[in-house]
Amino acid sequence: MFDFTDNSNTPPSPALRDLRAFVAEHADGLAGAAALLGAAPGVRIALAALDGLCEPGHPVARTMRALDKLVDLLMLEHVQDPDRIESVCFAALDPAEPVVEEICLLADGLSNRLEAYRAEAREMVRAEVAA
C-alpha cells in the first residue's frame, strides 16, 4: 500500500531507516488503531503520517506533526477531553480486548523510533555546527 523506499541521492540515517521499516511493517495496524481510537479524523492523521514517510529524503515538518499527532492518538493523550472524538472512541473499547495490547505495542514502537530519529537528527546538527 505504501512505498517506504527512499529514492533520494542521500541515504537515510539508521534511525530514519528504522522508523520507516517499523511503519512499513505495521502500516495496517497503525491505520486500524487510528480508526479505533480516532474514527475518520484518526485515519486521516495516520494516512498523512504514512504518506509523508513515503516521500524521499528526510520527513518534512508536516509529516513530523502528523507523526506526533498519531503518537498522541495511540498514547491516549486526549481521551479525557469530552469535546474530542477520542473520548467517545476510547469509551467504546473493552480494555480486555486483544487489540488493546497491540495498540500499546504500536504506540510504544512508534514513539521510541520517532524519538530515536529526533535524537539522531539533533546529533547530526550538533556535529555540523561543531565542524
Q: What angle do CA 52, 120, 20 make, to 5 degrees?
A: 35
- CA 100 to CA 60: how far, in whole Å? 30
Dihedral over Cα of 121, 33, 97, 83: its sign: positive
- Asked whether the beta carbons of 34 and 74 are under 8 A apart, the reply is yes
- Domain range summary for the chain, segments of one domain joined by +: 14-130
- CA 65 to CA 56: how far, in whole Å? 17
Give the mean pLDDT per block of 10 residues along the chain (131 residues): 53 92 97 97 97 94 98 96 94 93 97 97 87 76
pLDDT for position 58: 92
- CA 3 to CA 126: how far, in whole Å? 31
pLDDT for position 9: 60
Cell readout for 1 is 500500500
